[in-house]
Structure 1
Amino acid sequence: MSNTDQCQRFLFADVDVRGEIVNLTDSYQQTVGNHEYPAVVKEQLGEFLAASVLLASGIKYEGRLVLQVRGDGELSLIMAECTSEGEVRGIARFEEPPASDKFSELTGQGVLTITVDSRRSEPYQGVVQLSEESLGKSLEGYFEQSEQLQSWFLFAVDGQKACGIMLQQLPANKQTTEERADTWQHLMVLAKTLTQQELLDLPAEELLHRLFHQEQVSLFEPKEFVYRCSCSRERTAQALVSIGKEEVDSIIAEHGAVNVACEFCGTEYQFDASEANLLLNPENNTVH
């Protein structure tokens, strides 16, 4: 996988377990490069980006998957989004630079929300209480609670790239209940020998050989991911309408125009008085 933005699935032969490995370099750097985030925020946002890709790669959908936490901790919001087309972006909000690097203090008393906003079906949303330990532990709790599937996550972020690995039980198919439990315990013993540095440094094939060389593992072709923001002038205009005529008129009276910046990528859209008038008073539009 080297220094590219990819996610690869792997399967174990004759057992009910699958896995995903993700490495985000360019998309991670572009996400955090749009803001002057402290190092601890960059690390957490990197984990959320990697997690959104791991989760999105494991399901079939057309739309976007959003992973977010809103809490009363030092971060009021941390969110990552991955589309079915392989586009990722993310954001974090806070009033003051965090003083702690502990997950529990960064997120506070919040909930983890996973939303699948599909273009072909009704949106799905899953919510679970946060684990005080980490994002990985919170996700493990989510899958155990919502789908009764054992899962394991490990993330590693070093300022240049964000990486993650997931192991997860599949619905019972090839094994008995006792066999599933024994297999999972065995694979966990092996998986937990992996260090964060190895996750950052090793290509997927080498990493899997390092962990599971005695197992039969199939590694699939990688799927590529890119950073892309979904903002546009049209969407920003819709947001402007939602603000309301009175407030927009007040801004124009003071500044001569309305400038709206995308909080994800920083792109700024400007609307002068005539454009704002057309947006807010569509009944005055006349075609000659």
Structure 2
Amino acid sequence: MGLDRPESGDDAVVPFTLEKLDTRGRILHLGASLDAILSRHNYPAPVARLLGEAVVLTALIGSSLKFEGRLILQTQTDGPVNLIVVDFDAPDGMRGYARFDHDMVLKAAEEGRTSPAELLGKGHLAMTIDQGAHTERYQGIVALDGHSLEEVAHTYFLQSEQIPTQVRLAVAQMSVKGDHRPRWRAGGMLIQHLPEGGLVRMADLPGDGNFENTDPNFQEANGWAEARSMLATVADIELADPEVSPERLLFRLYHETGVRVFPPMPLEERCTCSADRIEEMLANNFSDEEREDMAVNGEIEVVCEFCSSAYRFNPHQFQVKH
């Protein structure tokens, strides 16, 4: 099947509109960038897959920011994976980290309970938009109670922005010919209903986070119903397949109604840690005595949880800053 435009590769997000369906969206493929995030900590496969979904979701949302700033996704729960933090440093930087209980993850795997919802358990997901110094942070919080990240994203957009949204996330390990290990990769797609005349009247949001219509008098817009029903037909392997470019998948789904595709926006794995930032943190947040207690064999070592970079400092070098 030929396309009339170049096809984007990995580590890029592609914005698009479905004008006849009053829908806009973004679709992405992550390859080397996601593999770097997931492989450096040697996570168990179920944990890596869950963190990968969180990275995809954050990139899909963060890539829409129209300013320089950060989108921070954070989950805190009672499940085997009790903490996830993903930073999107607009316009193109991503980093992520997961904290988990090894014994709980092992037990869950033995019992076949490795779905994202089961690994997360109960708690909350927070999305924070930080536009930098001298600005107020915006934060939206959604309960995590037995739902997947896809379902939680739907609830988040309805609660925070009142925009009907559908999300698909897929993470997989794939073997590469000539490579010594399988590589992590992912795909994701987000669509939102934005009718020309304004926001569509929506049914009340049920307490379980499912946004299916419950009002018998509610009529879902035909275009939005078609857009999300087509998205629901996409299989995980199709979404993450390196041989199926975002443009090719969009054409396959929406060629009958027409899809307008915009230039891809590159993404990269990038940590924002630095020796200067950590030195400033140690100088401003700890006393001389506390820094002395941190020292092992005469030096303070700080390891970044995101990228595993190690920074070492002499505990006495900070005393001159008082």
Same structural fold, with TM-score higher than 0.5 when normalized by the shorter chain? yes
What SS does the corresponding residue of 2:305 show, helix, strand or coil?
coil
Partner of 1:173: 197
Matches within 5 A, 1:94-133: 94-97=100-103, 98=105, 99=108, 100-119=113-132, 121-130=135-144, 132-133=146-147
Select 2:317's aligned residue among 269, 273, 278.
278
Matches within 5 A, 1:231-270: 231-241=273-283, 242-252=285-295, 254-270=296-312
Matches within 5 A, 1:1-288: 3-97=9-103, 98=105, 99=108, 100-119=113-132, 121-130=135-144, 132-159=146-173, 160-170=184-194, 172-173=196-197, 181-201=221-241, 202-241=244-283, 242-252=285-295, 254-272=296-314, 276-283=315-322
> How many Å separate the matches in 2 of 1:54 and 1:143?
13
Amino acid at match of 2:229: V
Contact 1:68 1:78 in 2 (8 A): yes
Per-residue deviation, residues 122-159 of structure 1 (Å, max 9, x unmatched):
21111111252310100001111222211111111113
Contact 1:157 1:163 in 2 (8 A): yes
> How many Å separate the matches in 2 of 1:216 and 1:156?
24
> How many Å separate the matches in 2 of 1:277 and 1:29?
39
Amino acid at match of 2:261: L
Contact 1:16 1:175 in 2 (8 A): no
Query: For residues 175 and 129 of structure 1, do their structure 2 counterparts lie closer, same or farther at Cα, with a shift above 3 Å needed?
Result: closer
> How many Å separate the matches in 2 of 1:138 and 1:34?
27
Per-residue deviation, residues 61-113 of structure 1 (Å, max 9, x unmatched):
21111111011111121121111130100000123251241323322221111
Is the helix fraction higher in 1 or 2? 1
- Number of residue pairs aligned between Structure 1 and Structure 2: 279
RMSD: 2.1
> How many Å separate the matches in 2 of 1:280 and 1:180?
65
> How many Å separate the matches in 1 of 2:304 and 2:114?
27
What SS does the corresponding residue of 1:256 show, helix, strand or coil?
coil
Partner of 1:286: none
Q: Quote how far apart the aligned CAs of 1:121 are.
A: 3.4
What SS does the corresponding residue of 2:102 show, helix, strand or coil?
coil
Report which stretch shifted further, 43-52 or 100-109: 100-109
Q: Quote how far apart the aligned CAs of 1:281 are.
A: 4.6
What stretches of structure 2 of length at least 5 have no aligned partner?
A: 1-6, 174-183, 202-217
Query: For residues 217 and 251 of structure 1, do their structure 2 counterparts lie closer, same or farther at Cα, with a shift above 3 Å needed?
Result: closer
Query: For residues 2 and 38 of structure 1, do their structure 2 counterparts lie closer, same or farther at Cα, with a shift above 3 Å needed?
Result: farther
TM-score (ref. length: structure 2): 0.81
What stretches of structure 1 of length at least 5 have no aligned partner?
A: 284-288
Per-residue deviation, residues 180-225 of structure 1 (Å, max 9, x unmatched):
6221112222221111111112111210121112112101100001
Segments of 4+ in structure 1 off by > 3 A?
174-180
Amino acid at match of 1:56: G
